[in-house]
Structure 1
């Protein structure tokens, strides 16, 4: 199986259509599950692939196609792809039901029975199996997976696991989870009780060894139709004390063992029939690299890693994250436009003056972390936090 490391392509050195084909559709949205409070964020991020879609048609919320966001993308040199806009759940589901068989790439598998399964680009069963945290030990070498055991929620308080504190609880289910969702780090019996209560409705929960992290990487690959594997690069993960993902630094490369471990998983997935993007969370500890999560989809860091260097003025140090501004009338839009024109800020998507604030997802670029941090301070001083 061929493994390649470089491909040059416009704003991005690889686009969705390079992997999925020009006749494909991309559905980046998480399913309409959970409370009303999370739906706005799920709609917001559907625009994050607008610059990277190529010839693939993108399903995205209509708010990501308003002039403020389109102007911002244009200022950075991006062109809009073919899109299928939706404004709410009913329209979203109608669009998905109308698409051809085997045409639609789902970033997140939807609940069983929610939609007809023949529209999936991948078999839904394969997508679910690969992303279920319970199966990580079958995809990665045993010595590269933290010690773990499977439990029902009712047994979490029984002390069945021999692991001491801290330890990690992870939901094992068909749900598409990411960014720390479905994961809780427990430092005490009180933490265990809270996690057990939170996960009471789940069928299975993993109790996993807590790994003391020296480095935390998201290692990205693309598996093409030709069954070859393209290494896209790796990003340092920014994670808070609760294990919640908050962004990435793109600066430097991990040691070869980290990339080799990710490649091992990608090759196994390719043998199972997976085609597409994938990103694996690999941490370096005193006992070597360990896989702590596998995501068979584009990851938050994927577009930032795939930016063509010439399009960022050759700035190789990048910070990927989201920003929010208490701006109900778009007053700070011109500031972002200027940074985008100068290629200091590469926007991925934005929703402006929605729900009393504006939000953008993007990449700050510089020659060094010090320079990027200075740009970050400038963003803060202009109201973007």
Structure 2
């Protein structure tokens, strides 16, 4: 094995220290705005394992023989600092064990108090909720970098929107976490508006909503920073985000030439969060419009989808990196064989593999997240080739 992991420029352990456990799984409780499918939620528990260096709570299907073989093919020894679960009961048991041991937990998403006490959070729970609440975005930007926006109670939403012109964006303003653009409702026409109202009714919420002007975007960045008292604020890097016309996340690439005003805006927001007591990694979705203005549309005071990619940037060969995620539309066997082929060839770096065959007697598609790296043209060619191969 190489000493690849020893070369990481940053780990969670450097930021959070000893006696801290990490879990990136969304809570098993119902969330109307985070519609992550169960197997996807389980797979994502391993996405940050290689940058952690602290105990990570992982689903058993992410650390089997196939995962170990992929890591070996990439020249990496699978870290052993993890704690496994297989279902909701065992997951909650891992949380209770950490709490009883006096450890702190860095949560990617908040959990109900019946599963873990607020005092167990590494970041003060009340602060963590407030930092990630879209309704409070103006608090953390100090009123800067914002599109035109209103905060409206759900009971007045329909009447208020009669004064808004398409396109506009509706976002939930409650304390439920969101991710990947889910929960964001972009309305271009009456049909989109009716779909948004239908979803809001299904959520059975009595909360406020945010309505924002739609920004004509030239570039969509996720700029990321890290803070600990020992290191101060560090700029980790930025990724260019790929979303569909309705704001749903489709992946990203590493951005090597980020405008100074974007980095400065992100740092200013990070400073505001740190001043309030935040410690750790954060990523902010900042848009640049056709006039060069910077807008903050979402603040994620937690690890982000591209965090591992940005931290690994200088360690991967080539000048182009692209985040890659897929689930098997072909057989699990063929899916895995193709991934192993790409990893062995040195152009696909593995972050997490979720083995659907772990579920004996069930038909569960395997899943994978990793990083394409190399020459841009070559990466795009192999990425598209994999898409064609994996078509149902």
Report the counterpart of residue 303 of structure 1 in structure 2: 308
- More divergent stretch after superposition (341-350 vs 252-261): 341-350
Report the counterpart of residue 62 of structure 1 in structure 2: 60
CA-to-partner distance for each residue in 1:200-253, whole Å, 9 max, x for gaps? 323111111111101100001111132601101010000001110111011422
Q: Partners in 2 of 1:336 and 1:171 — Cα distance?
A: 37
CA-to-partner distance for each residue in 1:328-364, whole Å, 9 max, x for gaps? 4423423322322333101111112354422111110
Report the counterpart of residue 257 of structure 2 in structure 1: 253
**Equivalent residues of 2:171, 2:210 under 8 A apart:** yes
Q: Is it true that 1:361 corresponds to 2:364 in the alignment?
A: no
The Cα shift of 1:316 comes to 2.1
**Equivalent residues of 2:254, 2:320 under 8 A apart:** yes
Which of these residues, 1, 17, 24, is aligned with residue 20 of structure 2? 24
Partner SS state of residue 170, structure 2: strand
- Could you say what the CA RMSD is over the residues aligned between the two structures, in angstroms? 2.1
Partner SS state of residue 29, structure 1: coil
Partner SS state of residue 234, structure 2: strand
**Equivalent residues of 2:320, 2:375 under 8 A apart:** yes
Distance 1:12-1:327 versus aligned 2 partners, 3 A rule: farther
**Equivalent residues of 2:8, 2:312 under 8 A apart:** yes
Report the counterpart of residue 3 of structure 1 in structure 2: none
Report the counterpart of residue 214 of structure 2 in structure 1: 210
**Equivalent residues of 2:12, 2:52 under 8 A apart:** yes
Q: Is it true that 1:377 corresponds to 2:384 in the alignment?
A: yes
Structure 2 unpaired stretches of 5+: 358-362
As a proportion of its length, which structure holds more helix?
A: 2
Partner SS state of residue 349, structure 1: strand
Structure 1 unpaired stretches of 5+: 1-7
Q: Is it true that 1:273 corresponds to 2:277 in the alignment?
A: yes
Q: Partners in 2 of 1:81 and 1:289 — Cα distance?
A: 42
Q: Partners in 1 of 2:170 and 2:50 — Cα distance?
A: 36
Report the counterpart of residue 10 of structure 2 in structure 1: 14
CA-to-partner distance for each residue in 1:257-280, whole Å, 9 max, x for gaps? 001000001111111111111000
The Cα shift of 1:39 comes to 1.5
**Equivalent residues of 2:140, 2:272 under 8 A apart:** yes
Partner SS state of residue 321, structure 2: strand
The Cα shift of 1:151 comes to 1.2
Report the counterpart of residue 340 of structure 2 in structure 1: 337
Q: Partners in 1 of 2:391 and 2:266 — Cα distance?
A: 35
Q: Partners in 2 of 1:96 and 1:45 — Cα distance?
A: 17
Note the 1:1-385 alignment, pairs <5 A.
Answer: 10=6, 12-34=8-30, 38-54=37-53, 56-79=54-77, 80-99=79-98, 100-101=101-102, 103-159=104-160, 162-200=163-201, 201-202=204-205, 203-226=207-230, 228-285=232-289, 286=291, 288-310=293-315, 312-313=316-317, 315-354=318-357, 355-368=363-376, 370-383=377-390
The Cα shift of 1:101 comes to 3.7
Scaled by the length of structure 2, the TM-score of the pair is: 0.90
The Cα shift of 1:195 comes to 1.2
